[in-house]
């Protein structure tokens, strides 16, 4: 094979990767353990740029931040339209059933009913998880899976390949 055929193959490969990256999927790095145990700090995931309802409880989605419209935040859907949401004594209840308890005792919400044009999501946050109502317009994609995962502790003395979490690749 000549150098020209190698160049053509490389050009087509780069072109294909760019098309997929621009129009279909976007990579995202999980920054905290706020959505553990499913997603952990150091996980790298692909998010679909084409998301369509219906969503289900437990789906991971990319949500536009209200303050910074260009910032995408990772979130888990915890309540769907028509659900009753309430946080009492640091525990999340959806339709009067216990769902999760990561909240501070001071955090209070509800009771609230999720409007038909949106969902309630638990947003990834390093300090503490945030429970937010979002509209379908703010959802920018659905998480597809973990494509790479590495221990996030910074230990320079160890080689990178010893920190790869092979068992997490492909999860979601």
The domains located in the chain, with CATH, are 25-168 (2.10.109.10)
24-71 pLDDT, tens digit per residue, is 888 888 877 777 777 888 888 888 887 676 888 888 888 887 776 667
129-142 pLDDT, tens digit per residue, is 678 888 888 888 88
3-state secondary structure of 68: coil
d(CA 14, CA 22) in angstroms, rounded, equals 12
Q: pTM for the whole thing?
A: 0.76
User: How many CA atoms does the CB half-sphere of 126 hold within 13 Å?
Assistant: 4
The pair of structure tokens assigned to 160 is 């990178």
């Amino acid at each position: 094979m000549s150098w020209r055929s190698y160049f053509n193959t490389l050009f087509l490969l780069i072109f294909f990767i760019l098309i997929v990256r621009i129009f279909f999927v976007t990579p995202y790095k999980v920054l905290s353990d706020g959505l553990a145990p499913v997603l952990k700090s150091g996980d790298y995931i692909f998010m679909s740029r084409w998301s369509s309802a219906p969503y289900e409880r437990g789906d991971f989605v990319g949500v536009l931040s209200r303050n910074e419209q260009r910032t995408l935040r990772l979130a888990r859907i915890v309540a769907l339209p028509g659900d009753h949401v309430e946080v009492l004594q640091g525990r999340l209840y959806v339709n009067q059933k216990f769902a999760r308890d990561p909240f501070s005792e001071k955090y209070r919400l509800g009771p609230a009913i999720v409007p038909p044009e949106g969902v309630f999501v638990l947003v990834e946050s390093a300090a503490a998880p945030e429970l937010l109502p979002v509209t379908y317009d703010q959802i920018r994609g659905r998480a597809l899976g973990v494509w790479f995962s590495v221990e996030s502790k910074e230990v320079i003395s160890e080689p990178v390949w010893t920190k790869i979490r092979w068992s997490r690749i492909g999860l979601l």
